Amino acid sequence: MEQSTVSVSRHDIRQPLNIVMLACANLRARIAPRLGPEDAVYLDAKIARIEEQVERISGMLGASATTPGPNAADAPAKGD
């Protein structure tokens, strides 16, 4: 597989992972505070599991989902 194809493929996978991580942060910030203590703990555990799996996939790609990799062009622009 050509190097540029690999870079594009990594970007194509990282982009939705970044969206998932942003959604997790939004759930924690907007939804968790509105829940009762038991439900908030449950939600936090589920979000943590999602984040762990995103980081696992990111590790397979060789870069963190939450920070730009060696190719900054692969990182989402602020507001994406």
Q: Which residues contact 38 (CB under 8 A, 6 or more apart)?
A: none
Q: Are 8 and 73 in contact (CB under 8 A)?
A: no
pTM recorded for the entire structure: 0.65
Q: How far apart are CA 1 and CA 27, in angstroms?
A: 38
Any domain includes 78: no
Any domain includes 39: yes
Range of the domain at 59: 7-63
Any domain includes 72: no
Any domain includes 80: no
**pLDDT tens track of the chain, all 80 residues?**
566 666 667 778 888 999 999 999 999 999 999 999 999 999 999 999 999 999 999 888 885 444 444 444 444 444 43
Any domain includes 32: yes
Any domain includes 2: no
Any domain includes 49: yes
What's the number of domains the chain is made of? 1
Rounded (10°) CA dihedral 52, 58, 64, 68 = -140
Any domain includes 57: yes
